[in-house]
Structure 1
């Protein structure tokens, strides 16, 4: 017998084309870095960026409790890094939120806000040299190493 409620999420991720620049002396940056301070929160963030997921799916994939995952999801939502994209239902009929990355991408700059004009100028020169696809590969590769905890 098929369920009356959707058990598979129908979530899609729509990202803004404009990344918000965050400088190290910005309070918003501190909030975001604090929300990603543990390996578990970074793992939750990585997984929902790969594909939207429920807390139950994340708990199973990360071999941890739903309550533990929910704690990290709440912190990441409070920081604006993830959103609830959809709702689906478990086989038992329980409503489950589906989490995915927020619409707003961020670019963290490890310099102060007084360095921002120089950074923007350098970024424009970089953009003209490698083009938009090169920027996406450079940022995506660097970000994935940071999120994975790769020091190399």
Structure 2
């Protein structure tokens, strides 16, 4: 049936190999994969203002401390964040 609207050309959706983004010449990383998570993006945005603890970042991203730590480790490996200080809990051993 004829139509007034032109037909678009079909698009070839052939899968391609994954590519890595090189952040540092010595260490290629997949930065795009690291920041593809909403949680990682929230953590990265929170760290834009000032340093924060893992538990603070977990609360900001509304996730568990373990999940926040997972994303922070990957952000560190990608060279997007770095640890500035280490603090330990003041709770006494039981």
TM-score over 0.5 for the pair: yes
Cα distance in 1 for residues equivalent to 2:78 and 2:42:
16
Offset at 1:26? Answer: 6.2
Higher strand share: 1
Offset at 1:89? Answer: 3.1
Offset at 1:62? Answer: 1.9
Q: Deviations over 1:6-63 (max 9, x none)?
A: xxxxxxxxxxxxxxxxxxx763166111111111111111111211011111112222
What is the 5 A alignment of 1:98-117? Answer: none
* Root mean square deviation of aligned Cα: 2.3
Q: TM-score when scaled to structure 1?
A: 0.41
The residue that corresponds to 2:7 in the other structure is: none
Gaps of 5+ in 1: 1-24, 94-152
Q: TM-score when scaled to structure 2?
A: 0.63
- Residue 32 in 1 paired to residue 36 in 2? no
Higher helix share: 1
Gaps of 5+ in 2: 1-18, 24-28
The residue that corresponds to 1:81 in the other structure is: 80
